[in-house]
């Protein structure tokens, strides 16, 4: 008999994003009072309000969750996956009653405990012992419950020696271990965990995953957000794949992970990106039209790391602009920037290039070449942006296209296999017995090309 | 704290069409604008968290500043000395009956100090615990109430000064002092109402924190701290006193004086009733406004 412990019906959550004023407050008291005081007069005079107050009234609304329906059975371990901003944390916050839904409803059966952050409420001035009680109470344990599990918690965390030290003196590792140990001893019927395992060292993470597996095998229901697909595959029986506030997929783990992978990779174009309705990039001065990565020599294979590539950037200038400077970023698969390259007019020997002068509105093209034997056998993303007047920043795109080099495991001399590193440049190497003749000769031999290159 | 989960264990059909009448199988339904049916029971359930948060604030305060306790004593004492000097000597305001002027001032100082510090600490309490609010569920009212309780502890500490003053002046209170706890409770409730309103406002309008010190400053001069309500009566008559009693702290402070000074100090009942009414209205308003806004705290904090 399957027993539903969570039922979500047509759930939606709307946030109002107040216009942030420069002081960083969402809503100014002064503005609220001013609006309230002038409102009756505006009604009298038929005035629709000052420009500023109308702007304030035009709050942006944003649906962080839309039309979500699902059910969770007792004892299920559900992996909640999806890209950043998909609405995973918002869903968990509603489930744990921190915030309420805008529409729809959720039925819950049994005691719910949630762990949205490790060490919520830990106070740096208090000792480890005091924080165990404090954090336990915050997570919903009674004092008696914490007391009876105290020794277990301490043993699990491995910080026995520092129990009476204020946690501000703890290393961050110790802090996380203690915090997680408290949470690991919660015994609710439904456990809700946001992406908290991202912190802590890998050994401790393993321990925590083990603990979670125990929790699950006790027949408790677990909802667990993670970006770590290995952990999801190992722990979960079901998945909920969220995308832009909607539920994209609900079902078994393997299918869920596959759907997640497809979603993540379909997000960006490969090799070529072009603008179109709903995918414009730019501002009112410059608009990006297309970006293509192609081999310099059309006969060569673009997916081979030894091929020289060119990045062709087509764009439209919409106003008279001076010093238009395109640039690009190469990023790795996690979005970390590997390098930035700029078409800086002043950095080039020929000073009278057209970019130095004023550009009339029209279509332009810039080309950047990436040498062969430079990138590695992996996936990269490209972001493109523009400056004007030398250093005035206009915009930079998100990662608009990806390029991927096949793992051909091309031999380089004796070595075949995966090459470590973000990039794989081919550099000159010379090795010889250390004597003066060879060293002075080194540069010359490299230039002539008879040094070994690897 | 376990909800009675096993209560209805009818062999519920696992998944029926939406909205089918199997709602009873769930312990709780979360939906928009759900009025918390068991608000007060829930608050009672979270009493341990309440106690531990209050304890945390006291512990941290007294740990951080070695002089924490000393400061709690010193601040009202110094204010009392200055007030005694300014009002008693410079302005020449009269005392009440046989009681020394210093004790008169201090008996007013005590509840005022409590009111001021609970107002400022409770109004900052939610914002100061923003992390908790956005990461865990509990009845939000716990936070400002525990801030008021913390202020209450400082208040009880400063009773020591009062005792010392009485010894110094060889002043013996009569049996009325036994009614003091009732006025302590009144002071607590009088602080709680405005505290709840200001806390909730402060979450939404952060610039409110600039208003609070002003309220406290201003309140000190319009409350009978440095003088007795008699002064008002002599200048403005009965109606004056009634109007003056709209300030809830008038009833509280007069009550304190009545209980502590004993002897000739009399309590003016219509005034006390007016103050009680204001306290009640503010408290009801505070609870209403707090409950109305608390659902969105996590979104805007
Ligand atoms: N309190 C809030 N006010 C306004 N927008 C919010 C708030 N909390 C989250 N959001 C927005 O809701 C979206 C979903 O956020 P979140 O649930 O944290 O995503 P995830 O956890 O999947 O990365 C994001 O675009 C985020 O900016
Ligand atoms: Mg998140």
Query: What tokens were used for A377?
Result: 């056998």
d(CA A315, CA A287) in angstroms, rounded, equals 6
Look at residues A316, A319, A315 and name the one whose alpha carbon lies nearest to residue A328. Answer: A315
pLDDT of residue B197: 93
Total residues found in chain A within this entry: 454
Does residue A179 surpass a pLDDT of 90? no
Q: How far apart are the first and last CA of chain B?
A: 27
Band of pLDDT at residue A128, cut at 50, 70 and 90:
very high
Does residue B11 surpass a pLDDT of 50? no
d(CA B119, CA B215) in angstroms, rounded, equals 9
By the CB < 8 Å criterion, does A1 face chain B? yes
Nearest CA in chain A to B46: A140
Band of pLDDT at residue A19, cut at 50, 70 and 90:
very low
**What are the pLDDT digits (tens) for A78-121?**
999 998 788 999 999 999 999 999 999 999 998 888 888 888 88
Does residue A2 surpass a pLDDT of 70? no
Average pLDDT over residues B170-199: 90
Look at residues B219, B233, B113, B221 and name the one whose alpha carbon lies nearest to residue B162. Answer: B113
Nearest CA in chain A to B208: A29
Query: What tokens were used for B175?
Result: 């049996």
Highest average pLDDT, of A351-360, A402-411, B110-119, comes from B110-119
Nearest ligand to the CA of A80 is 1
Quick one: CATH architecture of A73-266? 3-Layer(aba) Sandwich (3.40)
Nearest CA in chain B to A104: B31
Cβ pair A123:B1 closer than 8 A: no
Highest average pLDDT, of A28-32, A313-317, B264-268, comes from A313-317
User: What phi and psi, each to the nearest 5 degrees, are found at residue A431?
Assistant: -130, 140
Residues 118-137 of B with CB under 8 A from A: 131-137
Burial of A337 (0-12, 13-18, 19+ CB in 10 A): exposed
**What are the pLDDT digits (tens) for B61-71?**
777 666 666 77
The secondary structure of A388-434, three-state, reads ECCCEEEEECCCCEEEECCCCCCCECCECCCCCCCECCCCEECCCCC
- For tokens 């020794």, name the residue: A151
Decide: A64 in ligand 1 pocket, CB within 6 A. Answer: yes
Average pLDDT over residues B109-118: 90
Strands A452-453 and A428-429: antiparallel
Residues 65-104 of B with CB under 8 A from A: none
d(CA B47, CA B37) in angstroms, rounded, equals 18
Query: What tokens were used for A193?
Result: 């965990």
Cβ pair B34:A1 closer than 8 A: no
| Contact predicate A107/A172, CB 8 Å | no
| Distance from Cα A100 to the centre of ligand 1, integer Å | 14
pLDDT of residue A26: 45
Does residue A1 surpass a pLDDT of 50? no
By the CB < 8 Å criterion, does B60 face chain A? yes
CB-based contacts of A43: which residues, under 8 Å, 6+ apart?
none
Question: Which region holds residue B92: left if phi is over 0, alpha if psi is between -120 and 50, else beta?
Answer: left
Average pLDDT over residues A15-19: 69
User: What phi and psi, each to the nearest 5 degrees, are found at residue A316?
Assistant: -120, 130
Torsion of CA A243, A245, A247, A249, to 10 degrees: 0
- For tokens 């013996």, name the residue: B172
Residues 136-155 of A with CB under 8 A from B: 137-140, 142-143
- For tokens 């020289």, name the residue: A308
Average pLDDT over residues A214-240: 85
Q: What is the complex's ipTM, to 2 decimals?
A: 0.81
Atom of ligand 1 nearest to the CA of A90: 17
Topology (CATH) of A270-409: Coagulation Factor XIII; Chain A, domain 1 (2.70.50)
User: Residue whose CA is closest, atom 9 of ligand 1?
Assistant: A90
Closest in B28, B206, B298 to A98, CB measured: B298
Look at residues A52, A12, A13 and name the one whose alpha carbon lies nearest to residue A32. Answer: A52
d(CA A340, CA A384) in angstroms, rounded, equals 10
**Where are any strands of DSSP class E within A278-357?**
281-282, 286-295, 309-317, 321-322, 325-331, 337-342
More confident residue, B301 or B24: B301
Cβ pair A143:B48 closer than 8 A: yes
Q: Between A and B, how many residue pairs show a Cβ–Cβ distance under 8 A? A: 137
pLDDT of residue B33: 77
| Contact predicate A405/A333, CB 8 Å | no
Testing the interface with A: which of B18, B136, B138 to mutate, by most A Cβ within 10 A? Answer: B136
pLDDT of residue B95: 65
**Where are any strands of DSSP class E within A74-193?**
77-82, 103-108, 112-115, 190-193
Angle (deg, nearest 10), helices B101-128 and B68-83: 130
| Distance from Cα A21 to the centre of ligand 1, integer Å | 20
Does residue B9 surpass a pLDDT of 50? no
Does residue A188 surpass a pLDDT of 50? yes
User: What phi and psi, each to the nearest 5 degrees, are found at residue A374?
Assistant: -130, -45
* Residue of A90, A114, A263, A264 best suited for mutating to test ligand 1, as the one with most atoms within 8 Å of CB: A90
Closest in A27, A109, A120 to B204, CB measured: A27
More confident residue, B264 or B299: B299
Q: If you average pLDDT over every residue of chain A, what do you get?
A: 80
**What are the pLDDT digits (tens) for A251-262?**
999 999 989 888
- For tokens 């764009």, name the residue: A315
A15 vs B contacts (CB less than 8 Å): 299
Band of pLDDT at residue A24, cut at 50, 70 and 90:
very low
Look at residues A380, A374, A381 and name the one whose alpha carbon lies nearest to residue A423. Answer: A374
Q: How far apart are the first and last CA of chain A?
A: 64
d(CA A416, CA A408) in angstroms, rounded, equals 9
Share of chain B above pLDDT 70, in %: 84
**What are the pLDDT digits (tens) for A158-173?**
889 999 999 989 887 8
Domain boundaries in chain A? 4-62, 73-266, 270-409, 426-454
Q: Which helix (H) or strand (E) holds A43?
A: helix A29-45
Q: Which of A56-60, A289-293, B158-162 shows the lowest mean pLDDT across its residues?
A: A56-60
Number of H helices, E strands in chain A: 10, 24
């Amino acid at each position: 008999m399957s027993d539903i412990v969570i039922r979500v019906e047509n759930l939606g959550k709307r946030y109002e994003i107040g216009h942030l004023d420069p002081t960083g407050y969402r809503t100014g008291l002064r503005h609220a009072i001013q609006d309230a005081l002038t409102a009756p007069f505006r009604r009298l005079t038929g005035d629709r309000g000052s420009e500023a107050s109308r702007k304030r009234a035009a709050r942006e609304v944003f649906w962080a969750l839309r039309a979500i329906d699902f059910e969770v059975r007792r004892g299920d371990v559900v992996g909640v996956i999806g890209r950043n901003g998909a609405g995973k944390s918002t869903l968990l916050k509603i489930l744990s009653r921190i915030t309420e839904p805008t529409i729809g409803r959720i039925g819950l059966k049994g005691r719910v405990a949630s762990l949205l952050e490790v060490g919520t409420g830990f106070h740096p001035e208090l000792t480890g012992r005091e924080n165990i009680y404090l954090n336990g109470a915050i997570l919903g344990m009674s004092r008696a419950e914490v007391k009876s599990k105290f020794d277990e918690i301490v043993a699990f965390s491995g910080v026995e020696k520092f129990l009476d030290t204020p946690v501000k003196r703890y290393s961050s590792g110790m802090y996380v271990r203690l915090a997680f140990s408290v949470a690991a001893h919660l015994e609710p019927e439904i456990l809700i965990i946001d992406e908290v395992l991202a912190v802590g060292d890998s050994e401790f993470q393993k321990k925590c995953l083990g603990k979670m597996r125990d929790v699950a095998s006790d027949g408790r229901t677990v909802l667990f957000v993670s970006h770590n697909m290995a952990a999801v595959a190992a722990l979960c029986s079901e998945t909920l794949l969220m995308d832009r506030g909607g539920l994209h997929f609900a079902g078994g783990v393997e299918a869920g992970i596959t759907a997640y992978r497809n979603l993540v990779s379909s997000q960006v174009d490969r090799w070529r990106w072009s603008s179109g309705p709903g995918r414009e990039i730019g501002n009112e001065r410059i608009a990006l039209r297309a970006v293509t990565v192609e081999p310099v020599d059309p006969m060569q294979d673009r997916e081979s790391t030894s091929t020289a590539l060119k990045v062709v950037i087509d764009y439209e200038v919409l106003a008279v602009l001076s010093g238009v400077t395109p640039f690009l970023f190469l990023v790795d698969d996690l979005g970390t920037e590997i390098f930035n390259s700029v078409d800086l007019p002043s950095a080039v020997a020929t000073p009278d290039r057209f970019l130095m002068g004023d550009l009339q509105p029209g279509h332009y093209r810039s080309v950047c070449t990436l040498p062969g034997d430079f990138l590695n056998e992996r996936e990269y993303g490209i972001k493109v942006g523009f400056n004007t007047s030398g250093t005035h920043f206009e915009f930079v795109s998100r990662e608009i296209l990806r390029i991927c080099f096949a793992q051909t495991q091309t031999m380089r001399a004796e070595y075949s296999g995966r090459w470590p590193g973000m990039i794989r440049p081919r550099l000159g190497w010379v090795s010889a017995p250390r004597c003066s003749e060879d060293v002075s000769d080194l540069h010359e031999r490299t230039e002539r090309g008879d040094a070994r290159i690897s | 704290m376990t909800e009675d989960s096993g209560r209805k264990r009818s062999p519920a059909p696992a998944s029926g069409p939406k909205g089918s009448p199997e709602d009873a199988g769930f312990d709780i339904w979360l939906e928009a604008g759900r009025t918390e049916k068991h608000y007060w029971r829930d608050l009672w359930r979270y009493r341990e968290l309440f106690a531990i948060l209050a304890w945390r604030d006291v512990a941290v305060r007294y740990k951080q500043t070695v002089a924490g306790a000393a400061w709690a004593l010193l601040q009202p004492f110094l204010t009392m000395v200055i007030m005694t000097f300014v009002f008693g000597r410079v302005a020449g305001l009269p005392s009440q009956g046989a009681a020394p002027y210093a004790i008169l001032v201090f008996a007013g100082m005590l509840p005022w100090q409590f009111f001021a510090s609970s107002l400022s600490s409770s109004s900052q309490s939610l914002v100061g615990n923003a992390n908790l609010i956005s990461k865990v569920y509990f009845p939000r009212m716990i936070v400002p109430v525990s801030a008021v309780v913390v202020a209450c502890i400082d208040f009880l500490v400063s009773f020591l000064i009062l005792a010392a003053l009485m010894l110094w002046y060889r002043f013996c209170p009569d049996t009325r002092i036994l009614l003091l706890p009732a006025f302590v409770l009144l002071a607590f409730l009088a602080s709680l109402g405005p505290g709840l309103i200001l806390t909730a406002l402060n979450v939404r309008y952060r610039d409110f924190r600039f208003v609070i010190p002003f309220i406290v400053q201003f309140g000190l001069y319009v409350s009978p701290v440095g003088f007795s309500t008699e002064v008002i009566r002599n200048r403005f008559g009965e109606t004056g006193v009634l109007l003056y009693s709209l300030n809830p702290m008038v009833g509280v402070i007069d009550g304190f004086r009545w209980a502590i000074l004993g002897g000739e100090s009399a309590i003016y009942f219509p005034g006390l009733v007016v103050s009680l009414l204001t306290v009640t209205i503010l408290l009801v308003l505070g609870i209403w406004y707090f409950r109305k806004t608390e659902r969105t705290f996590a979104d805007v904090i």
